[in-house]
Structure 1
Amino acid sequence: MNHAARRLAALSAATLLPLAGLAVPASAAAIRVPPGAGSPALEKMRREVGADVPCWRNITIRSTANGRYVTTEIGWDGGDHGSLRARSTTAGPWERFTVCRDPESGVTRIRAQANGDFVSAELDNAGARYGLLRAQADKVGGWERYYSNSPPGEPFSFYARHTRRWVSAEVTFTGNQYGILRARATSVGAEETFVW
């Protein structure tokens, strides 16, 4: 059995039901959508990252360091608009993402569903804001490319290509900076481990 056949055999009911035109149970939080079967926004993302790359919609990301869901801070202004923070105890609209991941290379793109923007690692920031993850890009460039070590549905860590650093949830920060995501770690620990 080849790689593609094994992946097809492992698909969950939440993935197969939409293909058959059937309703998806409310408990299905993440759905892998095949090319041509998604929303216009999902199809646009797939065109930008490659037609054969699997994409998942309604993905939540939870930090193992504090057990909180990652939120897109679309209520913030200026250079902080769209910052990603592991701070929510529940998953609502601001905690949903579309993820496209090449299973061969691990190259991953993340788009916040709260504002429709791709997640960037902000390399022009300094100090405690260096490598800040923000949903602010309308297309995929170097700052929007990550490598992840597992597909949605499994624990993972992800690496920002341009910073050459692992993404951390800053659970030691306080105030509005608590749980902020930054591409700054050289090794993987609890702060660099997440659950899709």
Structure 2
Amino acid sequence: MNSAARCAAAVMAAGLLPFVAPAAPAGAVPVAPGAGPPALERMRREVAAATGSRRVPCWRNVTIRSAANGRYVSAEIGWDGAGYGALRARATRVSPWERFTVCRDAYSGATWIRAQANNDFVSAELDYAGATYGLLRAQAQRVAGWERFYSNRAPGGTFSFYARATRRWVSAEVTFRGRGYGSLRARATSVGAEETFRW
């Protein structure tokens, strides 16, 4: 069993959520192997190498919508400093900031996400503290441990995703106010409405 499959098995064994092989994101545009831009093809190769998979499907124009507030996830590329690229479930309509590219090993659910607005990979920020610990940001130039997620398929066409680096589920912080409203953070040990999304 490869490392990605072992991690998926550990998630199941921990009783966090039954793991079901994820389906293709609804409405996303599939990208055939070798047909994408260099960054996407590099992303596909890295998923394959990390998971031992021979075939890694990728999709463009993926949107992520929070079940907790019904809002689309945006990459805040207009922000600067430590907030640059922060992911927040705050948009009521889809614009370029709400579109992502996703590559995923269908067997293990190992998933990499890239914001199309700035072409950066999504990371879980483990070096942040307090209310920003585990904040998801589209700011990485390459894929490493903080950029690896596991996604599943849940009843009703929804999904939840799990950050390998924090070993926590991603939450949309709908109880936060102001600039932090809807921030996505890898911090939950169980799945509820805040940890449920729809592609």
Which residue pairs with 2:10 in the alignment? none
> Residue 39 of structure 1: CA displacement?
3.1
> Residue 130 of structure 1: CA displacement?
0.3
Structure 1 runs (4+) deviating above 3 angstroms are: none
Which residue, out of 81, 97, 100, partners 2:103? 100
Which residue pairs with 1:18 in the alignment? none
Q: How many residues are aligned here?
A: 172
> Residue 174 of structure 1: CA displacement?
0.4
Work out whether 1:53 is the aligned partner of 2:51. Answer: no
Is this contact kept in 1: 2:47–2:110, CA < 8 A?
A: no
Which residue pairs with 2:137 in the alignment? 134
Report Cα offsets for 1:131-150 as digits up to 9, x if no partner.
00001111111100111013
TM-score, normalised relative to structure 2: 0.81
Report Cα offsets for 1:71-112 as digits up to 9, x if no partner.
000000011100000000001100000011111111110001
Which residue pairs with 2:73 in the alignment? 70
Which residue pairs with 1:155 in the alignment? 158
TM-score, normalised relative to structure 1: 0.82
| Secondary structure at the counterpart of residue 184 of structure 2 | strand
Work out whether 1:119 is the aligned partner of 2:119. Answer: no
For residues 150 and 190 of structure 1, the distance between their equivalents in structure 2, rounded to whole angstroms, comes to: 14
For residues 55 and 134 of structure 2, the distance between their equivalents in structure 1, rounded to whole angstroms, comes to: 29
Greater Rg by CA: 1
Unaligned runs of 5+ in 2: 1-22, 49-53
Work out whether 1:31 is the aligned partner of 2:34. Answer: no
For residues 185 and 82 of structure 2, the distance between their equivalents in structure 1, rounded to whole angstroms, comes to: 14
Unaligned runs of 5+ in 1: 1-9, 12-27
Give the alignment's Cα RMSD to 1 decimal: 2.3
Report Cα offsets for 1:37-77 as digits up to 9, x if no partner.
22333223223322621111100000000000000000000
More deviation, 45-54/182-191: 45-54
For residues 87 and 104 of structure 2, the distance between their equivalents in structure 1, rounded to whole angstroms, comes to: 19
Which residue pairs with 1:43 in the alignment? 41
Report Cα offsets for 1:12-32 as digits up to 9, x if no partner.
xxxxxxxxxxxxxxxx84111
Is this contact kept in 1: 2:114–2:138, CA < 8 A?
A: yes
For residues 166 and 101 of structure 1, the distance between their equivalents in structure 2, rounded to whole angstroms, comes to: 17
Work out whether 1:183 is the aligned partner of 2:186. Answer: yes
| Larger relative contact order (Cα-Cα within 8 Å, sequence gap ≥ 6) | 2
Q: What percent of counterpart residues are identical?
A: 75
Report Cα offsets for 1:131-173 as digits up to 9, x if no partner.
000011111111001110139x931000001111100000000
